[in-house]
Amino acid sequence: MEALSSKHTCSETAEEKEDPGAAPYGNFINYYTFNPPENRLSLIPITLLEDVGHQPDTEAVLLLDVGCNSGDLSIALYKHFLQDQPPGSDSSKRIHLLGFDLDQDLIVRAQNSNPFPQNVQFIPLDITGEESRTELASYLEKFGRSRFHLCSCFAVTMWVHLNHGDAALLAFLSRLASVCECLLLEAQPWKCYRSAARRLRKLGRSDFEHFKTLEIRGDMAAHAKEHLEKQCGMELVRSFGSTSWDRSLLLFKRRSCSDQERKQ
């Protein structure tokens, strides 16, 4: 896998200028003014659901967006995939998206501006908390499913890692893998950790609890890949290249039982 280069400065310098508060969980209130959805969407094919074997014309397709902030990228992603469906067809009604974020205010904004309330839902939830298990399971149960077809996790790993530490990052990745068939992951590179810590210091706040003691550091995309492949039964199937913020977008897919047997 291509290692992340450091040709661009970390986007967190942009966040520094724009962010009026500390946003210790990456819960920036104006995130999409400086990182518009197009930055990521332009790398994602509209045929992605079909490419990974899901057909909204034959079944409900369930998407999960983790750490969805005010929902702009979730909605843009939803519309992006709708483009691949014949206009007015029933298949477009069969794509459902659940977005969640730990910041209640951001979720209220996402709910109030949701143009697809029938098919898109936003809920407040902390992925590191136990209640997230039951919440996600009860959403899936409504569709008679045990996993989402696709889970997207854009720019969240660093915040879980900085706030909760190494073990929590790995547990987070394992959680994501356990709730989906495919995972679209954008992990922040290490240079963003340094910028985030610097920003907090500049604001006169104490450092992230775990920053100095993190042992998982360096090529964060490679660490995520290693954990997902070795511990979670997933494999990297595509890399969509790097965003304008120099972050790679990686697609992982659950290995089928026969694949796993072959590997043993």
Ligand X SMILES: C[S@@+](CC[C@H](N)C(=O)[O-])C[C@H]1O[C@@H](n2cnc3c(N)ncnc32)[C@H](O)[C@@H]1O
Residue from 78, 148, 154, 208 touching ligand X (CB under 6 A): that is: 154
Min dist CB 167 to ligand X, Å, is 14
Q: Which of 133, 234, 126 is nearest to 175 (CA)?
A: 133
Q: Which of 212, 211, 223 is nearest to 187 (CA)?
A: 223
Min dist CB 204 to ligand X, Å, is 21
Residue 53: count of CB within 10 angstroms of its CB: 10
Tell the burial category of 68 from Cβ atoms under 10 Å away from its Cβ (0-12, 13-18, 19+): buried
126 binds ligand X (CB under 6 A): yes
Show the site string, 84-123: x = touches ligand X by CB under 6 A, - = not.
-----------------xxx--x-----------------
Show the site string, 3-42: x = touches ligand X by CB under 6 A, - = not.
----------------------xxx---x-----------
127 binds ligand X (CB under 6 A): yes
Min dist CB 160 to ligand X, Å, is 5
Residue from 67, 75, 196, 208 touching ligand X (CB under 6 A): that is: 67
- For Cα atoms 147, 183, 115, give the angle at the middle one, nearest 5 degrees: 80
156 binds ligand X (CB under 6 A): yes
49 binds ligand X (CB under 6 A): no
Enter the tokens of residue 262. 């072959």
> Going by DSSP bridges, is the β-strand pair 248-254/180-186 parallel, antiparallel, or unpaired?
antiparallel
64 binds ligand X (CB under 6 A): no
Residue from 61, 77, 98, 160 touching ligand X (CB under 6 A): that is: 160
Min dist CB 262 to ligand X, Å, is 34
Question: Which residue's Cβ has the minimum distance to ligand X?
Answer: 67
Binding site for ligand X (CB under 6 A): 25-27, 31, 67-69, 73, 101-103, 106, 126-128, 154-156, 159-160
